[in-house]
Structure 1
Amino acid sequence: MTSQLPDAAPASFTIVSGDPTPAEVAAVTAVLGAALEELAGEHERDAASAPSAWQRSQRAIRTPIVRGHDTWRGFSA
C-alpha cells in the first residue's frame, strides 16, 4: 500500500493478536489504504485552498480619499 505523497514509504502494520484469515487481513488493508488516501486528498485540497503568503500580505495601504464638497474641511491641524 502506497500513499500519494511523494516522499512517503510504503505503509506497514503488524497484527499482534487473533488469528485473522488472509481475506480479513486484505479487508483491513483495503480499509486502511482507502482512509489514508482520503486523508491525503483532504490535505492536498486544504493546501490548495489556503492563500499564499503573497496573497496574505496584499492589503490596502490606506483608505481611499473621498472627493466632494466640504470633505477636505474636516481636517484639523
Structure 2
Amino acid sequence: MTASTDPADFDPSELAFVTRGVTTAEVSAVTAVLRGVLQEESDSLRLAPVRGQSAWQVSQRGVRLPLTPGHGRWRGFSA
C-alpha cells in the first residue's frame, strides 16, 4: 500500500495477503476497514483546531460573590 492517506488514492490491488485461502468476503471486509480508517484519518486532518474555551473552562465560574463585611451586610455567625 502507498503512504498516501487520501482515500481516493487507495488501490485495493496493492494489498498482499500472506494468509493462504483468503475468501473474497474476507478481502472485501479488510478492504472496507482499511478504506474506512483512511477516510477517518483524512477527515481528522482536515478539521480545524478548536479555539477558545472548552466546555469545562466555560463551566468554571465563581460559586458566589465575595463576602463584604459591614453594616447591613454579612456579619458572621453571631447576631
> TM-score with structure 2 length normalisation?
0.45
Q: Choose 1 or 2 for highest CA Rg.
A: 2
